[in-house]
Amino acid sequence: MSVAALVDTDRWPLDSAELHRELSDTFSKENIAILPGFIYESAIPALIAECDELAKVAFHTTVNADLEVVAYDQFPSDSVIRSLYEWDPLMEFVAKILGEEKLFRYADPFGALNLAVMAEGDQLGWHFDMTDFVVSLALQPSQAGGEFENAQKLRTSTDENYDDVQSVLSGNADDRVRVEPMHAGTLMIFNGRTSLHKVTPVEGSTLRIVALLAYDTKSGTDSSDELKLSRYGRLPQ
Protein backbone atom coordinates (compact mmCIF):
# COMPACT_ATOMS: atom_id res chain seq x y z
CA MET A 1 0.00 0.00 0.00
CA SER A 2 1.40 3.39 -0.99
CA VAL A 3 1.44 6.32 1.41
CA ALA A 4 -0.61 8.40 -1.01
CA ALA A 5 -3.37 5.78 -0.75
CA LEU A 6 -3.47 6.18 3.04
CA VAL A 7 -4.19 9.87 3.43
CA ASP A 8 -7.58 11.38 2.63
CA THR A 9 -6.27 14.42 0.80
CA ASP A 10 -9.75 15.33 -0.39
CA ARG A 11 -10.81 15.95 3.21
CA TRP A 12 -7.38 17.20 4.26
CA PRO A 13 -5.65 18.85 1.25
CA LEU A 14 -2.05 19.03 2.43
CA ASP A 15 -1.15 21.97 0.19
CA SER A 16 -4.13 24.17 1.11
CA ALA A 17 -3.02 27.50 2.58
CA GLU A 18 -6.53 28.05 3.92
CA LEU A 19 -6.40 24.74 5.80
CA HIS A 20 -2.94 25.58 7.12
CA ARG A 21 -4.23 28.88 8.53
CA GLU A 22 -7.31 27.26 10.07
CA LEU A 23 -5.36 24.49 11.81
CA SER A 24 -2.57 26.84 12.84
CA ASP A 25 -5.10 29.16 14.47
CA THR A 26 -6.69 26.22 16.32
CA PHE A 27 -3.32 24.99 17.51
CA SER A 28 -2.33 28.45 18.75
CA LYS A 29 -5.57 28.88 20.69
CA GLU A 30 -5.99 25.37 22.08
CA ASN A 31 -2.49 23.79 22.00
CA ILE A 32 -3.96 21.00 19.90
CA ALA A 33 -5.11 20.36 16.34
CA ILE A 34 -7.20 17.24 15.66
CA LEU A 35 -7.70 15.85 12.16
CA PRO A 36 -10.28 13.02 12.23
CA GLY A 37 -10.31 10.71 9.24
CA PHE A 38 -6.82 11.74 8.16
CA ILE A 39 -6.24 8.11 7.21
CA TYR A 40 -8.88 6.41 5.08
CA GLU A 41 -11.03 4.04 7.10
CA SER A 42 -10.46 1.39 4.43
CA ALA A 43 -6.70 1.50 5.10
CA ILE A 44 -6.95 0.91 8.85
CA PRO A 45 -7.20 -2.93 8.83
CA ALA A 46 -3.89 -3.27 6.98
CA LEU A 47 -2.23 -0.89 9.44
CA ILE A 48 -3.61 -2.84 12.40
CA ALA A 49 -2.28 -6.08 10.90
CA GLU A 50 1.16 -4.44 10.70
CA CYS A 51 0.85 -3.26 14.29
CA ASP A 52 -0.04 -6.76 15.49
CA GLU A 53 3.26 -8.02 14.08
CA LEU A 54 5.24 -5.10 15.48
CA ALA A 55 3.73 -5.56 18.93
CA LYS A 56 5.52 -8.91 19.19
CA VAL A 57 8.88 -7.10 19.58
CA ALA A 58 7.68 -4.27 21.84
CA PHE A 59 9.48 -3.37 25.08
CA HIS A 60 7.45 -2.98 28.26
CA THR A 61 8.26 0.35 29.91
CA THR A 62 7.07 1.40 33.37
CA VAL A 63 8.58 4.90 33.61
CA ASN A 64 5.55 7.05 34.56
CA ALA A 65 3.65 4.63 32.39
CA ASP A 66 2.63 1.05 31.83
CA LEU A 67 2.76 0.24 28.13
CA GLU A 68 4.60 -1.51 25.32
CA VAL A 69 6.81 0.50 22.95
CA VAL A 70 8.07 -0.39 19.48
CA ALA A 71 11.16 1.61 18.49
CA TYR A 72 11.92 3.16 15.11
CA ASP A 73 14.64 0.65 14.26
CA GLN A 74 12.14 -2.20 14.75
CA PHE A 75 9.89 -1.02 11.91
CA PRO A 76 10.87 -2.94 8.75
CA SER A 77 11.90 -0.96 5.69
CA ASP A 78 8.64 -1.84 3.94
CA SER A 79 6.47 -0.72 6.87
CA VAL A 80 3.59 1.47 5.73
CA ILE A 81 3.63 3.35 9.04
CA ARG A 82 7.35 4.02 8.64
CA SER A 83 6.78 5.20 5.07
CA LEU A 84 4.14 7.64 6.29
CA TYR A 85 6.55 9.07 8.87
CA GLU A 86 9.28 9.43 6.23
CA TRP A 87 6.90 11.01 3.70
CA ASP A 88 8.00 14.62 3.11
CA PRO A 89 4.51 16.02 2.34
CA LEU A 90 3.34 15.05 5.83
CA MET A 91 6.32 16.69 7.53
CA GLU A 92 5.86 19.82 5.42
CA PHE A 93 2.13 19.88 6.26
CA VAL A 94 2.87 19.72 10.00
CA ALA A 95 5.43 22.52 9.61
CA LYS A 96 2.79 24.75 8.01
CA ILE A 97 0.36 24.12 10.87
CA LEU A 98 3.06 24.98 13.41
CA GLY A 99 4.11 28.08 11.49
CA GLU A 100 7.62 26.71 11.02
CA GLU A 101 9.62 27.18 7.84
CA LYS A 102 11.11 23.70 8.09
CA LEU A 103 10.97 20.61 10.29
CA PHE A 104 13.41 17.73 10.67
CA ARG A 105 12.93 14.09 11.59
CA TYR A 106 14.54 13.00 14.84
CA ALA A 107 18.05 11.59 14.62
CA ASP A 108 17.15 9.22 17.46
CA PRO A 109 17.35 5.67 16.02
CA PHE A 110 14.76 4.54 18.57
CA GLY A 111 12.57 7.56 19.27
CA ALA A 112 12.04 9.02 15.80
CA LEU A 113 9.00 6.82 15.33
CA ASN A 114 7.29 4.81 18.06
CA LEU A 115 4.31 2.57 18.34
CA ALA A 116 2.66 2.81 21.77
CA VAL A 117 0.70 -0.36 22.49
CA MET A 118 -1.46 -0.46 25.59
CA ALA A 119 -3.21 -3.60 26.86
CA GLU A 120 -5.79 -4.02 29.60
CA GLY A 121 -4.64 -2.22 32.75
CA ASP A 122 -1.95 -0.18 30.98
CA GLN A 123 -1.97 3.57 31.53
CA LEU A 124 0.09 6.74 31.24
CA GLY A 125 0.19 9.03 34.26
CA TRP A 126 -0.23 12.80 34.37
CA HIS A 127 2.79 14.54 32.86
CA PHE A 128 4.09 17.41 30.77
CA ASP A 129 6.19 16.73 27.66
CA MET A 130 9.75 17.92 27.17
CA THR A 131 9.00 19.02 23.60
CA ASP A 132 6.82 21.79 22.17
CA PHE A 133 4.76 19.46 20.01
CA VAL A 134 3.99 15.80 19.42
CA VAL A 135 2.43 14.31 16.30
CA SER A 136 0.37 11.18 16.86
CA LEU A 137 -1.77 8.91 14.72
CA ALA A 138 -4.53 6.93 16.42
CA LEU A 139 -4.72 3.44 14.91
CA GLN A 140 -6.93 1.48 17.27
CA PRO A 141 -8.92 2.59 20.34
CA SER A 142 -9.32 0.27 23.29
CA GLN A 143 -12.63 -1.40 24.02
CA ALA A 144 -13.09 0.98 26.96
CA GLY A 145 -10.88 3.30 28.98
CA GLY A 146 -7.63 4.45 27.39
CA GLU A 147 -8.93 8.00 27.22
CA PHE A 148 -6.58 10.87 26.46
CA GLU A 149 -7.28 13.50 29.13
CA ASN A 150 -5.90 16.97 28.56
CA ALA A 151 -5.70 20.00 30.85
CA GLN A 152 -4.98 22.69 28.30
CA LYS A 153 -2.43 25.47 28.74
CA LEU A 154 -1.96 24.82 32.43
CA ARG A 155 1.45 26.46 32.60
CA THR A 156 3.63 28.83 30.60
CA SER A 157 7.35 29.33 30.13
CA THR A 158 7.27 31.96 32.88
CA ASP A 159 4.61 30.57 35.24
CA GLU A 160 4.56 26.95 36.44
CA ASN A 161 1.09 27.53 37.95
CA TYR A 162 1.66 24.99 40.72
CA ASP A 163 -1.73 25.55 42.37
CA ASP A 164 -3.76 24.65 39.27
CA VAL A 165 -1.45 21.76 38.44
CA GLN A 166 -1.96 20.36 41.93
CA SER A 167 -5.72 20.79 41.60
CA VAL A 168 -5.72 18.67 38.43
CA LEU A 169 -3.45 16.04 39.99
CA SER A 170 -5.71 15.77 43.04
CA GLY A 171 -8.86 15.47 40.93
CA ASN A 172 -10.31 18.80 42.02
CA ALA A 173 -10.31 20.55 38.64
CA ASP A 174 -12.48 18.45 36.36
CA ASP A 175 -13.59 21.63 34.60
CA ARG A 176 -10.01 22.08 33.36
CA VAL A 177 -9.80 18.60 31.85
CA ARG A 178 -11.24 17.51 28.54
CA VAL A 179 -11.18 14.12 26.80
CA GLU A 180 -9.73 14.17 23.29
CA PRO A 181 -11.07 11.82 20.59
CA MET A 182 -9.39 8.48 19.99
CA HIS A 183 -10.84 7.38 16.65
CA ALA A 184 -8.81 5.20 14.29
CA GLY A 185 -7.22 7.30 11.55
CA THR A 186 -7.12 10.56 13.54
CA LEU A 187 -3.96 12.66 13.29
CA MET A 188 -3.27 14.90 16.29
CA ILE A 189 -0.71 17.66 16.78
CA PHE A 190 -0.37 18.51 20.45
CA ASN A 191 1.69 20.83 22.64
CA GLY A 192 2.25 18.80 25.78
CA ARG A 193 4.91 21.08 27.26
CA THR A 194 2.28 23.44 28.66
CA SER A 195 -0.75 21.10 28.78
CA LEU A 196 -0.88 18.44 31.49
CA HIS A 197 -2.15 15.16 30.08
CA LYS A 198 -2.54 11.43 30.70
CA VAL A 199 -4.06 8.22 29.32
CA THR A 200 -6.53 6.47 31.62
CA PRO A 201 -6.26 2.71 32.26
CA VAL A 202 -7.19 0.56 29.28
CA GLU A 203 -10.18 -1.73 29.77
CA GLY A 204 -11.02 -4.82 27.75
CA SER A 205 -9.07 -7.11 25.45
CA THR A 206 -8.66 -4.70 22.50
CA LEU A 207 -5.22 -3.09 22.35
CA ARG A 208 -4.99 0.70 22.26
CA ILE A 209 -2.48 1.52 19.50
CA VAL A 210 -1.03 4.93 18.64
CA ALA A 211 1.89 5.84 16.39
CA LEU A 212 4.10 8.72 17.59
CA LEU A 213 5.91 10.66 14.88
CA ALA A 214 8.82 12.77 16.14
CA TYR A 215 9.84 15.95 14.32
CA ASP A 216 11.81 18.96 15.53
CA THR A 217 12.60 22.50 14.42
CA LYS A 218 16.33 21.68 14.37
CA SER A 219 18.28 18.81 12.88
CA GLY A 220 20.14 16.15 14.82
CA THR A 221 17.71 15.82 17.76
CA ASP A 222 18.45 12.71 19.80
CA SER A 223 17.46 11.27 23.18
CA SER A 224 19.75 10.71 26.14
CA ASP A 225 21.09 7.25 26.89
CA GLU A 226 19.14 7.33 30.14
CA LEU A 227 15.88 7.86 28.28
CA LYS A 228 16.70 5.17 25.73
CA LEU A 229 17.38 2.63 28.47
CA SER A 230 14.20 3.45 30.37
CA ARG A 231 11.93 3.52 27.33
CA TYR A 232 13.47 0.83 25.11
CA GLY A 233 15.62 -1.22 27.46
CA ARG A 234 18.74 -0.91 25.31
CA LEU A 235 21.24 1.41 23.64
CA PRO A 236 22.25 1.62 19.96
CA GLN A 237 24.93 -0.87 18.98
Q: Is 197 left (phi over 0), alpha (psi -120 to 50) or beta?
A: beta
| pLDDT confidence tier of residue 64, bands split at 50, 70 and 90 | confident
Q: Could you tell me the CA-to-CA distances from 127 to 68, 136, 227 in Å, in that order?
A: 18, 17, 15
pLDDT in tens, 86-117: 999 999 999 999 999 999 999 999 999 999 99
Whole-number pLDDT of residue 151: 96
pLDDT band at 1, cuts 50/70/90?
confident
CATH superfamily of domain region 16-216: q2cbj1_9rhob like domain (2.60.120.620)
Rounded Cα distance between 64 and 142, Å, is 20
> pLDDT of 34-60, one tens digit each?
999 999 999 999 999 999 999 999 999
* Domain chopping of the chain, boundaries: 16-216
